[in-house]
Amino acid sequence: MGRGKQLNEFQKGQIVVWKQHQQTVQFMAQSLGVSRTAISNYLKDPENYGKRFKGGRPSKLSVNDVRQIFRTASKTGATATTIVRDLNLAVSPRWVRHMLKDNTCFEYVKRNATPLLTKAHMEARLKYAKKHLESPPSWSTIIWSDEKKFNLDGPDGLQCYWRDLRHPKESFFSRKFGGRSVMVWAGFSSDGATELAFLEGNQNSCKYIWTLQDYLFPFAHQIYKGDFTFMQDGASIHRSKETMEFLTSQNVNMFEHPALSPDLNPIENLWGILVRGIYAGGKQYHSVEALILAIKHEWSKIDVAIMQRLVDSMPRRCVAVIESNGALTPY
């Protein structure tokens, strides 16, 4: 009976990674489609494995090189170019990219932009979630609002990395605002959305009040005859004395929202839909006017049924917050 096929460099590297995570030989054999004997022989003497039977062109990478590639990608998510440079490898970045791509434990993904939560933030989120599960508000009458910046060259935060699928997704810290761009305010509920307010210049409490008068109230009175609840985040102009006095004078019911909790504001998902439509295919814009037209067009295409589903997801979001002990959720 002939000898089995020798393990290739990818399989060796995969075995090393799995061994570090205490996977069994049986699991490795089934996953790679090789015999348990082959894996056991390799683990007994990785440096000398297969040398007696090795033929053809010598490999440019040692077993240790392969191990270091997977270890670096797993720990740092570094690009293939960075890995080749930092490890001083005698192969091209393209070779490393193919190696990582063929590894079932890795995928090249974008980092999510998420805020940094303190213990106090997490406790506030837990309190919010428990409160609204025990005594649910009328989710369907809440108008969710937010501002959003759109750049001519595409969305902020385009950061990608090699993700080890056995590890949680990474995030990077993002700036709320910051080249040529358009700032938009909008609100929505399960029954529809406001018109888009395109904001000019630096915003203050006075300008924000004008935005509410011109965009929030026409929608609220048309849909709810004034009987609605308003959600806004904790931006300074939203919580200023002038703004709060104005909202009180209009008898607006306010919906408290925990700080740094984009996953508990479904309008963030609406922004995501809008961004994908505006920048589909890597589209960029050469003028603010063209960008504004695209924003308006894509906003008009969002179906009310989508808004309904987003609002209906609020109880599930609260459950997710409790399950994560107050940490950010996938929403």
Structure tokens at 124: 């506030």
pLDDT at position 186 is 99
pLDDT in tens, 270-323: 998 999 899 877 688 889 999 999 999 999 999 999 999 999 999 999 999 999
Q: Is residue 329 part of a domain?
A: no
- Residue 62 to residue 55: CA distance in whole angstroms: 15
229-261 confidence digits (pLDDT tens): 999 999 999 999 999 999 999 999 999 999 999
Q: Which amino acid is at 67?
A: R
How far is Cα 270 from Cα 266, in angstroms, rounded to an integer? 7
Domain that holds residue 188: 115-323
> Within this chain, do residues 302 and 230 fall inside the same structural domain, yes or no?
yes
Distance of CA 198 to the CA centre of its chain: 25
pLDDT category at 114 given cuts 50, 70, 90 is low
Look at residue 328 and tell me if it is in a domain: no
Judge if 67 and 19 occupy the same domain.
yes
The total number of structural domains that make up the chain:
2
Angle at 81 between CA 43 and CA 84, to 5 degrees: 40
- 141 and 89 in a common domain: no
66 or 58: which leads in pLDDT? 66
Q: Looking at residue 111, what is its pLDDT? A: 60
Check residue 175 and give its pLDDT.
35
Lowest mean pLDDT among 10-24, 256-270, 278-292: 10-24
Same domain, 271 and 215: yes
Domain co-membership, 135 together with 219: yes
- Asked if 198 and 317 sit in the same domain, the reply is yes
In a domain, 213, yes or no: yes
Mean pLDDT (the chain, rounded): 86
Q: Output the domain CATH number for residue 284.
A: 3.30.420.10
Report the predicted TM-score, pTM, of the whole model to 2 decimal places.
0.63
Give the tens place of pLDDT for each residue, 171-200: 544 434 335 899 999 999 999 999 999 999
Q: Cα–chain-centroid distance for residue 95?
A: 28
163 and 80 in a common domain: no
Is there a domain that residue 4 lies in? Answer: no
Given the structure tokens 């924000």, which residue do they identify? 208
**pLDDT tens per residue, range 94-113:** 888 888 888 877 777 666 66
Same domain, 222 and 83: no
What value does the mean pLDDT take over residues 118-146? Answer: 97
330 in a structural domain = no
Residue 195 lies in a domain: yes
- Residue 202, pLDDT > 60, answer yes
> At which of 83, 104, 125 does a domain end?
104
Out of 48, 70, 104, a domain closes at: 104
DSSP string for 57-68: SPPSS-HHHHHH
Q: How far apart are CA 266 and CA 226, in angstroms?
A: 22
**109 in any annotated domain:** no
Residues 67 and 155 reside in one and the same domain: no
Asked if pLDDT for residue 206 goes beyond 80, the answer is yes
Whether the CA torsion 179, 294, 195, 176 is positive or negative: it is negative
Q: Name the amino acid, one letter, at 30.
A: Q
Residues 100 and 180 in one domain: no
Question: Are 176 and 126 contained in the same domain?
Answer: yes
**Parallel/antiparallel/unpaired status of strands 229-231 and 171-172:** unpaired
Identify the residue with better confidence: 208 or 36: 208
> CB burial class (10 A; 0-12, 13-18, 19+) of residue 289?
exposed
Instruction: Looking at the structure, tell me whether residues 48 and 127 fall in a common domain.
Output: no
